[in-house]
Amino acid sequence: MDITVIPLQEKDFKPLFTNPEELGFGRVFTDRMFTMEYTEGIGWQNPTIRKYEPFSLDPATLVLHYGQEIFEGMKAFSGPDEQILFFRPEENVRRFNRSARRMSMPELNEEDMLQAIVELVKLEKRWIPKTRGPRSTSAPP
């Protein structure tokens, strides 16, 4: 998949949190986001990594009327030599597609989805804490 990456300007970078305990799921967002459009008959298209920002939705957007939405979170850790380690990314992709099937939404190609995740996280590497915060019940051993 050919992902368009729109470069950020210096002013677009957010200040980093230095304490991993301050990083809260759903509370702190990185500098960029991945988006892709879907058109019936064409499928998924225009994969893009760009600045994290609000996007506009048409008032007739189905998610506003029928509540169809899928959100899948994933953990990434800094390993030896600052290597990026993911916690079970393939399972996240499979779970996302299972949710899409149940909701009669179009599935994503698993390889493309994994590629998008890896490319986005590589660009956002500065957000991955170098030290581990307190263990939670959802943290891997």
pLDDT computed for residue 16 by the predictor:
80
Scanning 71-109, the segments in alpha helix (DSSP H) are: 89-102
88-105 pLDDT, tens per residue?
999 999 999 999 999 999
Q: What percent of the chain has pLDDT over 70?
A: 91
Of the given ranges (20-29, 64-73, 74-83), which has the lowest mean pLDDT?
Answer: 20-29
Amino acid identity at 20: P
Between 56 and 5, whose confidence is greater?
A: 5
Question: 68 is written with which tokens?
Answer: 């169809």
Of the ranges 22-36, 102-116, 125-139, which is most confident? 102-116
* DSSP line for 109-135: -HHHHHHHHHHHHHHTGGGS-SS----
Question: Exposed e or buried b for every residue in 54-89, given b needs 16+ CB within 10 A?
Answer: eeeeeeeeeeeeeeeeeeeeeebeeeeeeeeebeeb
Of the given ranges (53-57, 88-92, 105-109), which has the lowest mean pLDDT?
Answer: 53-57
What sign for the dihedral angle of Cα 134, 34, 41, 112? negative
The mean pLDDT of the chain is 87
Nearest to 123 by CA among 33, 39, 45: 33
Q: What is the pTM of this model?
A: 0.81
pLDDT computed for residue 72 by the predictor:
82
